[in-house]
């Protein structure tokens, strides 16, 4: 991921990153991959407070561009529309999803053992 422009917006307590991602011979990166890359590009950021918008991949090209908004706090991130927040909540990395499933199964087994 290449950062084209980085703007600090103290009024909204966020950093706005314009990026470009070359991905030859690979599919367009997922939203979760872009959030991870943007969080790594901005030191001290939390993945839960990173929102990726305006993602565009030109037809026939393996180059994706977009904007990542990195907020400083949960309170300042609340200005994002609810549907954007919901989209990003649903985008967990596969490792996190597996961990959550294992925890849920363990809780179900514990609850079943308590009932018997």
Q: Is 103 exposed, middle or buried (0-12, 13-18, 19+ CB in 10 A)?
A: exposed
Q: What is the pTM for the complete model shown? A: 0.69
Q: In the sheet that 14-22 helps form, which strands lie side by side, from edge to edge?
A: 2-9, 14-22, 63-71, 50-57
Domains of the chain from N-terminus onward: 2-115 (3.30.70.330)
Residue 6 corresponds to which tokens in the numbers above? 């980085």
Identify the pLDDT of residue 101.
Answer: 54
Per DSSP, the three-state class of 97 is helix
Rounded mean pLDDT for each run of 10 residues along the chain, 116 residues in total: 89 90 86 87 85 87 90 87 83 53 59 53
């Amino acid at each position: 991921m290449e950062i084209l422009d980085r703007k600090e917006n103290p009024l909204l307590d966020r950093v706005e990153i314009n990026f470009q991602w070359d991905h030859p011979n690979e599919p367009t990166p997922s939203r979760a991959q872009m959030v991870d890359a943007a969080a790594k590009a901005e030191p001290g950021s939390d993945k839960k407070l990173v929102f990726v918008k305006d993602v565009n991949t030109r037809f026939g090209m393996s180059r994706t561009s977009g904007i990542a908004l990195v907020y400083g706090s949960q309170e300042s991130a609340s200005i994002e529309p609810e549907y954007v927040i919901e989209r990003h909540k649903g985008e967990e990395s596969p490792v996190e999803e597996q961990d959550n499933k294992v925890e849920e199964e363990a809780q179900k087994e514990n609850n079943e053992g308590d009932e018997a």
